[in-house]
């Protein structure tokens, strides 16, 4: 049953990113895809921490909403250097320490790795690898929808692995 989390998270990932069905399917409730994205986290954590698992809903929602527009060109240019995202200061600091050029492919990997880690932290943080890998593979297909589907699916794999270890 838990394996259904993987395609569910892929669908929610594409939906939350706006490439699958767009944002307006719920009308004014544009935040619903991200809310739906958070539910499997609470589901797997409930058996471990009970109602405290609801904190994971808020945690995941907040980090899912941080934005990542400057990483989306995946090193191909076309980013807006004046646009900041919540994670930009942290990502730029990490890139400076690792001598990674801003807005390069490496920058995109760091950005999505940080975002994936923070999103998946309640279930072990494996999104540090899966989230950027999903975007990398999607970029190679030339279709952004695959980036969002795959990154969501990899977060789903993290959730399923966490549940299996419980």
Residue 6, both tokens: 């993987």
Record the tokens describing residue 109, joined without a space.
């990997």
Instruction: Judge contact between 156 and 9, C-beta under 8 A.
Output: yes
Query: Which pLDDT value is given to residue 8?
Result: 97
Q: Would you say the C-alpha torsion 12, 17, 23, 29 has a positive or negative sign?
A: positive
How far apart CA 55 and CA 41 sit, in angstroms, is 10
User: Going by C-beta distance under 8 Å and a sequence separation of 6 or more, which residues neighbour residue 159?
Assistant: 2, 5, 9, 40, 41, 44, 120, 123
E-state strands within the chain? none
Handedness of CA 59, 62, 67, 72 (dihedral sign): positive
Segment 143-164, tens digit of pLDDT = 989 999 999 999 999 999 999 9
**Structure confidence by residue, pLDDT tens digits, 5-31:** 999 999 999 988 877 766 566 666 778
pTM greater than 0.75 (yes/no): yes
Structure tokens at 134: 């999903």
Q: Domain coordinates of the chain in residue numbers?
A: 2-165
DSSP single-letter state for residue 122: G
């Amino acid at each position: 049953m838990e394996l259904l989390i993987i395609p569910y998270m892929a669908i929610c990932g594409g939906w939350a990113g706006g490439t699958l069905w767009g944002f307006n399917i719920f009308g004014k409730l544009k935040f619903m895809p991200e809310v739906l994205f958070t539910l499997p986290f609470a589901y797997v954590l409930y058996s471990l921490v009970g109602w405290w698992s609801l904190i994971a809903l808020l945690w995941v929602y907040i980090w899912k909403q941080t934005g990542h527009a400057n990483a989306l060109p995946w090193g191909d240019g076309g980013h807006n250097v004046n646009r900041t995202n919540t994670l930009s200061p942290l990502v730029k600091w990490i890139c400076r320490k690792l001598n990674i050029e801003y807005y390069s492919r490496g920058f995109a990997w760091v950005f999505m790795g940080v975002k994936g880690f923070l999103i998946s932290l309640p279930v072990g943080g494996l999104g540090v690898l899966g989230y950027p890998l999903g975007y990398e593979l999607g970029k190679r297909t030339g279709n952004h929808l695959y980036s969002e589907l795959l990154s969501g699916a990899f977060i789903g794999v993290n959730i399923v692995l966490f549940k299996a270890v419980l």
